[in-house]
């Protein structure tokens, strides 16, 4: 069972960074500590949001956050916190030095303006594993791509896994590019 934190109760200061996991896809994992409870990941329940667009080929799902200013503010703060962490720790995590201006330009933003950019899996076997709720029932076949159209409203559970770093091809040298690694846990279509 996955514990979800509604964005309304999320305290950005409670997010904690782990140590860099050095693999072919380096990741700094996250945790969330609230009073005496420590979650080993940061799983959020977003409010009801409107779909701006969905690309069936890439899986990019863009949602409009303009009607949920509170959520937009918190997610933008998280994004800035990630950039600040990379600016502060990149010399420790990776041997190559980069100017902070390069650090900021290498970030693939999840929050752009009043939109959140998420990615749904595109492989059918993975798509089937994502619970999808529509017409008062859970789908037995996972994500229903044809229902994710502009103007529809959805509520999404998403796990923010950490900061993911892109290495230069065939090396262990950081390319300077990074993003917020996430996984869509479920989609509820209104």
Q: How far apart, in whole angstroms, are the C-alpha atoms of residue 60 and residue 161?
A: 17
Residue 185 pLDDT: 94
Q: How far apart, in whole angstroms, are the C-alpha atoms of residue 41 and residue 126?
A: 20
Per-residue pLDDT tens, the chain, 190 aa: give them.
Answer: 578 999 999 999 999 999 999 888 999 999 999 888 888 889 999 999 999 999 999 999 999 999 999 999 999 999 999 999 999 998 888 876 555 557 889 999 999 999 999 999 888 777 778 899 999 999 888 889 899 999 999 999 999 999 999 988 887 788 889 999 999 999 999 8
Residue 40 pLDDT: 87
pTM for this entry: 0.90
Q: Burial letters for 100-132: b for 16+ Cβ neighbours within 10 Å, e otherwise?
A: eeebeebbeebbeeebbbbbbbeeeeebeebeb
Measured at the CA of 72, the angle between CA 67 and CA 75, to 5 degrees, comes to 155
Residue 1 pLDDT: 58
Contact 96, 33 (CB under 8 A): no
Residue 54 pLDDT: 96
Integer angstrom CA distances of residue 167 from 20, 89, 108, 119: 14, 16, 14, 20
Following DSSP, what letter does each residue of 104-133 receive, concatenated? HHTEE-SEETTEEEEE---SHHHHTTS-EE
Residue 141 pLDDT: 86
Looking from the CA of 9 toward its CB, the CA atoms found within 13 Å total 10
- Largest distance between two CA atoms of the chain: 53
What stretches of 59-118 show up as alpha helix (H) in DSSP? 69-93, 100-105
Measured at the CA of 60, the angle between CA 43 and CA 190, to 5 degrees, comes to 65
Q: How far apart, in whole angstroms, are the C-alpha atoms of residue 156 and residue 112?
A: 18
């Amino acid at each position: 069972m996955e514990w979800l934190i509604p964005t309304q109760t999320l305290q950005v200061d409670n997010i904690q960074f782990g140590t860099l996991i050095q693999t072919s896809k380096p990741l700094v994992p996250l945790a969330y500590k609230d009073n005496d409870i420590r979650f080993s990941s940061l799983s959020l329940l977003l409010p009801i949001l409107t779909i701006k667009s969905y690309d069936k080929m890439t899986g990019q799902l863009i949602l409009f956050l303009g009607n949920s200013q509170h959520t937009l503010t918190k997610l933008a703060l998280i994004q800035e916190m990630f950039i600040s962490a990379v600016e502060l720790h990149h010399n420790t995590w990776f041997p190559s030095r980069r100017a902070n201006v390069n650090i900021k330009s290498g970030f693939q933003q999840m929050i752009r303006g009043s939109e959140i950019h998420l990615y749904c899996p595109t492989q059918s076997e993975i798509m089937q594993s994502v619970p999808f709720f529509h017409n008062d029932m859970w789908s037995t076949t996972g994500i229903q791509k044809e229902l994710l159209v502009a103007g529809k409203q959805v509520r999404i559970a998403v796990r923010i896994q950490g900061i993911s770093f892109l290495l230069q091809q065939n090396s262990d040298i950081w390319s300077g590019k990074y993003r917020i690694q996430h996984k869509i846990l479920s989609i509820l279509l209104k």
